[in-house]
Structure 1
Amino acid sequence: MTSGTSPQANAAAIVGAARRAASEGAAMLFTPEMCGLLDRDRGRATANIVAEADNPVLAAARDVARELGLWIDLGSLAILRDDGKWANRGFVIDAGGEIAARYDKIHMFDVDLATGETWRESAAYTPGDHVVTVETPLGRLGLAICYDVRFPALFEELGRLRCDAMRIPAAFTVPTGKAHWHLMQRTRAVEASAWVISAAQGGRHEDGRETYGHSTVIDPWGDVVLDMGEGSGLGFAMIDPARTAEVRAQLPSLANKREIPRSAS
């Protein structure tokens, strides 16, 4: 997606993608991080950051999932928490329109890039504090969001939980995307011997930012099954559980894993 500052317009794009995905036989649709609202003007965004019960994008996704019998992974939405703080929260919606899982992004993107870009996600959002997995048509799905990809401990835990697939929706900057996007996606797939599905924001957005794009699907061997390049659109990939079993049989790193003793020094 190239999400903008209107939740209603973003919801319409997701509903349209869901209808097309279902018509072509998809079992599950994945959307990027901040798919419902991408607005770096926090003063302007405040009016559109509401509680789950009032979020129009979440409501539209639940309605169309129920109508089509389609699972939908909303990469993340900006949500007003009960305590008045904001969360960068992902949702997995089942084919009946029910929320099967929620995940609040754990790692906040607080960086100063050489390009002059400065980001302080923690200035607005409260980080999550627990690991989330959920059973889906793809098997056990582990949830992560964007900057989480840089922190191996999270994915080590998802591997320990024997996730069949992991989702890492993102809104990567262009400099970090060019340097590390494919490298990190492939690494996480290989480490966990699991599929990695990463729907990404891509292009020039209404708020002036530019994101890297390249929504990808990586197989458990680290091979790139899908790379959608720049911009928005809908891509399809076949998630084959036999491939997961094949890779884990050839290279049983999860079974061979041992605890590393702490250094005595």
Structure 2
Amino acid sequence: MRTALLQITSSDDPAANLEMVRGLVGDAAGQAAAFVLTPEVTNCLSTSTTHQRAVLHHEEDDPTLAALREQAAALKIWLLIGSLALKTRGPDGRFSNRSFLIGPDGAVVARYDKIHMFDVQVSETEIYRESANYRPGTRAVVAEMPFGKLGLSICYDLRFPHLYAALAQAGAQVLTVPAAFSPVTGGAHWESLLRARAIETGCYVLAPAQTGTHPTSRGRQRTTHGHSLVISPWGEVLIDAATDPGIHIFDLDVSSVTEARRKVPSLTHMRHFDGP
């Protein structure tokens, strides 16, 4: 399946982001991509809770989701919206960080809420407390696609290998890791972790990423690592998008999954054990 990763620099303006993403999705489809993937928080990258409360929507009212579903149907493509920041009706008022797989008829085939929250102190000045504003998900998700099964994840999930082992054991042949990675942790760990997840599971890993310095009207400005990656089931880097926004196209062939797992069938060798 001809597949396209979009590397973008989202601002905190959902309407402007939607216009930009729609253009890129259309261009990717024009290059014969039948499966297009966008990064984490495609609709709004913001550090201001006040601003988010003003511009975000609930899923059923979200204009980005509605427009991209309509576009996927018009172009007859599969579309992974890496994630949208959305309002919830939870009593604590926190948002959701939710990935959507859209089918070529525009229907939502699968939803996944990010399970692991990015609560870290990278440096004296770079501190993140994602759980203060986002509700963690509780359910891993595998979805059916024409080529096989897709395992969904988001960004910081990448550091928890048991999630990817569970997805692969549930039949996933391709793992998605849309992200907005910090430049510090991205430079140190991004590629290594993605290659490890591919090698451990014998899966393709598709990781569309946010990149660059993100325009903001309120709150602290953010910069992200970029380097959207496609990793083969053998752990090879097939695409590295560097740091410029753009479209990156390749042909996804899951027969490579079968071959990698034949050579090293580690998924069938997992054993339960006691302790420590």
Q: Which residue of 1 aligns with 2:29?
A: 22
State the SS of the aligned residue for 2:74: helix
Asked if the contact 1:159–1:191 (Cα under 8 Å) also holds between the matched residues in 2, the reply is no
Deviations 1:158-204 (A, max 9, x none): 12112110000000000000000000000001111000000000001
**Which of the residues 45, 56, 60 maps onto 2:63?**
56
Query: Aligned partners of 2:30, 2:124: CA distance in 1, in Å?
Result: 43
**Which of the residues 70, 86, 89 maps onto 1:79?**
86
Query: Aligned partners of 1:231, 1:151: CA distance in 2, in Å?
Result: 28
Query: Aligned partners of 1:64, 1:182: CA distance in 2, in Å?
Result: 31
Query: Aligned partners of 1:98, 1:255: CA distance in 2, in Å?
Result: 34
Query: Aligned partners of 1:247, 1:44: CA distance in 2, in Å?
Result: 46
How far the C-alpha of 1:78 sits from its partner, in A, is 0.7
How far the C-alpha of 1:44 sits from its partner, in A, is 1.2
Q: Which residue of 2 aligns with 1:206?
A: 215
How far the C-alpha of 1:115 sits from its partner, in A, is 5.1
Query: Aligned partners of 1:48, 1:102: CA distance in 2, in Å?
Result: 21
2:274 matched to 1:262? yes
Q: Which residue of 2 aligns with 1:222?
A: 235
2:183 matched to 1:174? yes
2:143 matched to 1:130? no
Q: Which residue of 2 aligns with 1:103?
A: 112
**Which of the residues 65, 69, 80 maps onto 2:72?**
65
Query: Aligned partners of 2:184, 2:124: CA distance in 1, in Å?
Result: 8
Query: Aligned partners of 1:220, 1:94: CA distance in 2, in Å?
Result: 24
Asked if the contact 1:78–1:86 (Cα under 8 Å) also holds between the matched residues in 2, the reply is yes
How far the C-alpha of 1:123 sits from its partner, in A, is 0.5
State the SS of the aligned residue for 2:190: helix
Q: Which ranges of 4 or more aligned residues in structure 1 deviate by more than 6 Å? A: none
Q: Which residue of 1 aligns with 2:199?
A: 190
How far the C-alpha of 1:231 sits from its partner, in A, is 2.6
Letter in 2 for 1:65: A
How far the C-alpha of 1:116 sits from its partner, in A, is 1.8
Query: Aligned partners of 2:136, 2:164: CA distance in 1, in Å?
Result: 17
2:9 matched to 1:9? no
Asked if the contact 2:94–2:132 (Cα under 8 Å) also holds between the matched residues in 1, the reply is no
Could you state the TM-score of these two structures normalised by the residue count of structure 2? 0.93
Letter in 2 for 1:244: V
What percentage of residue pairs aligned between the two structures are identical? 41
State the SS of the aligned residue for 1:9: helix
State the SS of the aligned residue for 1:101: strand
2:176 matched to 1:164? no
Structure 1 window deviating more from structure 2 (78-87 vs 58-67): it is: 78-87
The 5 A counterparts of 1:107-118 are 107-114=116-123, 116-118=125-127
Query: Aligned partners of 2:49, 2:87: CA distance in 1, in Å?
Result: 13
Distance 1:138 1:216, change over 3 A: farther
How far the C-alpha of 1:137 sits from its partner, in A, is 3.2
Q: CA RMSD in A?
A: 1.1
Structure 1 window deviating more from structure 2 (181-190 vs 247-256): it is: 247-256
Asked if the contact 1:31–1:75 (Cα under 8 Å) also holds between the matched residues in 2, the reply is yes
Instruction: Give the gaps of 5 or more residues in structure 1.
Output: none
Asked if the contact 1:28–1:137 (Cα under 8 Å) also holds between the matched residues in 2, the reply is no
Structure 1 window deviating more from structure 2 (206-215 vs 175-184): it is: 206-215
Instruction: Give the gaps of 5 or more residues in structure 2.
Output: 1-7
Q: Which residue of 2 aligns with 1:155?
A: 164
Query: Aligned partners of 1:21, 1:115: CA distance in 2, in Å?
Result: 40
Q: Which residue of 2 aligns with 1:142?
A: 151
- Tell me the number of residue pairs that the alignment of Structure 1 and Structure 2 aligns: 263
Asked if the contact 1:3–1:35 (Cα under 8 Å) also holds between the matched residues in 2, the reply is yes
